[in-house]
């Protein structure tokens, strides 16, 4: 198997899905090279490495190419062992992590995007109500699975922390772009505290971009289509 010096990540600085494997690699103490894709284009290396989906992120480990953000995270956890495992060894806990990860990507994320893109005040209010409801469900999941510990994964950042935490900078950016409130301390105090701890972690801080950078990124690349 290739060594850590042969690890590369193809992606974008703004993509929350790319942030996931980067955080996982940092948690495992693995050095890697970041290969940035330009917005709106696909490099020859990306198309060669992920010919089926043709999208980021891609992890290159020597001659091996792995695609899909949380598939990559599981691969990283399996290849680079450490005292703190990203993936729970308990089958039920891991199954629940995967369930909520699917909820985040398939239900929560579309609700956030709809809230940002809503063109009328009435539509925005309805979308934000839906988004807050979805976020409160995650508040309940955190209360259930953290068992009064700092993270979804317990004492250490785990699978679901990475899944949801990769959106934290975008949450702050979305609040600025659409003038909405997603993380309300009165409605989801546990998630507010969790978010502060997650963002302060040394494995996370170098990866999460500043919200203002994402606001400008949105204006440049997506606002014309909203």
pLDDT score at 1? 37
Rounded CA-CA distance 8/55 in Å is 15
- Looking at the domain assignment, is residue 113 inside a domain? yes
pLDDT score at 60? 98
pLDDT score at 3? 45
- CATH number of 48's domain: 3.40.30.10
Structural domain boundaries enclosing 21 = 4-79
- Looking at the domain assignment, is residue 201 inside a domain? yes
Q: Are residues 148 and 197 in the same domain?
A: yes
Total domains present in the chain: 2
Q: Are residues 96 and 144 in the same domain?
A: yes
Q: Which residues of the chain have pLDDT under 50?
A: 1-4, 225-226
pLDDT score at 97? 97
pLDDT score at 224? 52
pLDDT score at 226? 44
Q: Are residues 180 and 220 in the same domain?
A: yes
HEC string of the chain equals CCCHHHEEEEECCCCHHHHHHHHHHHHCCCCCEEEECCCCCCCHHHHHHCCCCCCCCEEEECCEEEECHHHHHHHHHHHCCCCCCCCCCCHHHHHHHHHHHHHHHHHHHHHHHHHHHCCCHHHHHHHHHHHHHHHHHHHHHHHHHHCCCCECCECCCCHHHHHHHCCHHHHHHHHHHHCCCCCCCCCCHHHHHHHHHHHHCCCCCCCCCCHHHHHHHHHHHCHHHC
- Looking at the domain assignment, is residue 68 inside a domain? yes
pLDDT score at 4? 44
pTM: 0.94
Q: Are residues 191 and 121 in the same domain?
A: yes
Q: Are residues 47 and 100 in the same domain?
A: no
pLDDT score at 5? 62
Q: Are residues 45 and 146 in the same domain?
A: no
Q: Are residues 115 and 59 in the same domain?
A: no
pLDDT score at 143? 96
pLDDT score at 222? 79
- CATH number of 136's domain: 1.20.1050.10
């Amino acid at each position: 198997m290739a060594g850590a010096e042969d690890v590369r990540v193809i992606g974008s600085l703004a993509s929350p899905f790319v942030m996931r494997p980067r955080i996982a690699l940092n948690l495992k103490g693995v050095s890697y090279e970041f290969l940035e894709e330009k917005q709106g284009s696909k490099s020859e290396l990306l198309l060669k490495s992920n010919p089926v989906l043709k999208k980021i992120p891609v992890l290159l480990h020597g001659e091996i190419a792995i695609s899909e953000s949380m598939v990559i995270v599981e691969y990283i956890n399996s290849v680079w062992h450490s005292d703190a495992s990203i993936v729970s060894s308990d089958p039920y806990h891991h199954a629940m992590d995967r369930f909520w990860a699917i909820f985040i990507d398939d239900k929560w994320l579309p609700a956030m995007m709809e809230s940002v893109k809503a063109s009328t005040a009435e539509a925005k209010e309805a979308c934000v109500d839906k988004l807050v409801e979805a976020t409160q469900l995650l508040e309940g999941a955190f209360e259930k699975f953290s068992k009064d510990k700092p993270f979804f994964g317990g004492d250490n950042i785990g699978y679901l922390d990475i899944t949801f935490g990769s959106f934290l900078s975008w949450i702050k950016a979305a609040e600025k772009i659409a003038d909405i409130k997603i993380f309300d301390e009165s409605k989801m105090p546990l998630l507010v505290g969790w978010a502060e701890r997650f963002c302060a972690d040394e494995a996370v801080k170098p990866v999460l971009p500043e919200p203002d950078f994402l606001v400008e990124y949105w204006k440049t690349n997506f606002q014309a289509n909203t």
